[in-house]
Structure 1
Amino acid sequence: MFMFVQAVCDHDRACGRGFSCDRHFGLCVPLRGEGQYCRRDTQCVRGLSCMFGKCHRSIPNGQEGARCKVDRDCGTSMCCARHHGELVCKRRLIRGESCYVPDGGLAFSINQICPCDEGLLCRENSAPYWREDFIYQLDHTSWTCQVPKP
């Protein structure tokens, strides 16, 4: 009868080929395939990256969905913004797309959007209207990327 014995580790080099060190438990574990849960890139088989907690096919640098640190890491008409907490290349917003960004909070810090594409500005489609002593603001989804008015 074959028994699998996990080796104790504190770094990946302590584990053999096809294994990585699960630092939380201090044990060598088999590399994970596409769609399997992970915490770090080194826990995934070659060609896969750990993104959003699962092993995914690696996206070439500069392309939409690739990891980045700053805007210049991304291709043209893209920016570096958070998606589920991970910095990735996202495309800039085009004319007519919703561009409202909340002041802050958890949703803002976990998921971000790029600014409008070059030559466009984020503006509200229609102004609030008055009724008695109150101002009724339309919902923030009415903010879109628009060509600036002359």
Structure 2
Amino acid sequence: MLRKIVLTVCSLFLALIIGLPLYVYNESLSLLTIYPEPIAETNISNQEISAYWKEHEPKVDQVKYSQITPYWIYDWLAAAVLHDHLGINKTDPYSKVSIMASRIAIHHMRMGATTNKPSGMLWWHILHVSLGIYIQRNWSAKEIVVKYRAINS
């Protein structure tokens, strides 16, 4: 009987660990009335994109930027625990986070793209992270660079 209880509790805990980031990611994105749209601009060369990317994204590789997932939060939490409680400073959770995608996300949110303002700052920040992840996963490097240049000009 005890074995079944332990197995059930462990299974529920595992399901929670696996499901929670995806649930929060999708729930926060459901607050949007409209997703940001990339700008269709074709007069920028690949060399310009690479140079701009290197200048504005010191930590994120242009080839690997889209590999971020909602499970990135576990990297961030692990780095916080390792640094704050154990004094280990070797991990950098922000090496997967695009500054440009993050700025596009916050710009879009400030333009009033949410259905109803999230109650409190927690959901605002969760939506910001989720939308940044969405942009990184669904936009090309060219689309990110063009949109970032447009909102910063």
Shorter-chain-normalised TM-score: which range?
under 0.3
Pick the structure with more helix per residue: 2
| TM-score, normalised relative to structure 1 | 0.20
User: Comparing both structures, which one devotes a greater share of its residues to strand?
Assistant: 1
Greater relative contact order (Cα < 8 A, sep 6+) = 2
Q: What is the TM-score of this pair, normalised by structure 2?
A: 0.20
